């Protein structure tokens, strides 16, 4: 049976009840912008509603949260006014949500960080392709619990996205339906394909 990743897309502008623990409140309160504090609170409170309000997390060396005392694999991403939460009971998972930010020069960024063939794709197709490729790379890095800088040269272009090897581990990739103006991807450790249930 193939693995299943459940993904929740969360509009952080919607009304919510804060369920943050003390550490999350500390991290929220360290943010300067009131909008950033609200988005953080909404996204992390949604994660607790998906799991359980008293879920306890530990963070890996590069900040990836691991659910304490549970076999579930969990990952969270937020961009703009949206958040994405991925949960599976099988293998390490990463999710990333990117918005096609106006004012950036995607071609210049791709030339700086991406393999040449992907930089050419971005130069030809613009911000949405850049956001999609970035989301795929970051999803893999987040599944690995690694630093983004170590994953920007990963070759992830293709339709469907190809399996990727990062730090000696193979990852399966899938694009995720996202709100207009956003691109999203999910990565799961192991080469075997998986299915996505969106909530």
Q: Alpha carbon 199 to chain centroid distance? A: 16
DSSP H helices, 70-126, are 106-113, 116-125
Distance CA 137, CA 165 (A): 11
The band of 136, judged by pLDDT with boundaries at 50, 70 and 90, is: very high
pTM score: 0.94
Whether 73 has a pLDDT exceeding 70, the answer reads yes
Domains of the chain: 3-192 (3.90.470.20)
Query: From CA 145, how far away is CA 64, in angstroms rounded?
Result: 6
In the prediction, which pLDDT does 24 show? 94
pLDDT at 33: 96
Under 8 Å CB-to-CB from 29, ≥6 apart: which residues? 37
| Contact assessment for residue 183 and residue 98, using Cβ atoms and an 8 Å cutoff | yes
DSSP state of 190: B
- The model's pLDDT over 145-186, given as tens digits with 9 standing for 90+, comes to 999 989 999 999 999 999 999 999 999 999 999 999 999 999
Q: What is the pLDDT of residue 1?
A: 63
Q: What is the dihedral of CA 106, 157, 85, 77, to 10 degrees?
A: -30
Question: Is pLDDT at 103 greater than 80 in this prediction?
Answer: no
Per the prediction, the chain carries an average pLDDT of: 93
> In this predicted model, what pLDDT tens digit does every residue of 114-124 receive, in sequence order?
999 999 999 99
């Amino acid at each position: 049976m193939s693995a299943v990743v459940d993904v929740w897309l969360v509009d952080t502008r919607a009304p919510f009840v804060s369920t943050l623990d003390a550490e999350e409140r500390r991290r929220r309160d360290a943010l300067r912008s009131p909008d950033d504090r609200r988005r953080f609170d909404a996204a992390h409170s949604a994660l607790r509603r998906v799991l359980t309000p008293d879920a306890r997390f530990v963070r890996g060396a590069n900040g990836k949260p691991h659910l304490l005392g549970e076999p579930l694999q969990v990952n969270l991403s937020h961009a703009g006014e949206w958040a994405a939460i991925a949960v599976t009971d099988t293998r390490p998972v990463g999710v990333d949500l990117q918005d096609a930010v106006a004012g950036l020069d995607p071609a210049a960024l791709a030339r700086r960080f991406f393999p040449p063939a992907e930089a050419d794709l971005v130069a030809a197709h613009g911000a949405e392709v850049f956001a999609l490729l970035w989301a795929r790379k970051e999803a893999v890095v987040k599944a690995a619990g690694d630093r983004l800088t170590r994953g920007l040269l990963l070759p992830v272009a293709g339709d469907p996205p190809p399996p990727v090897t990062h730090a000696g581990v193979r990852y399966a990739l899938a694009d995720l339906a996202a709100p207009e103006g956003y691109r999203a991807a999910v990565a799961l450790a192991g080469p075997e394909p998986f299915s996505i249930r969106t909530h």
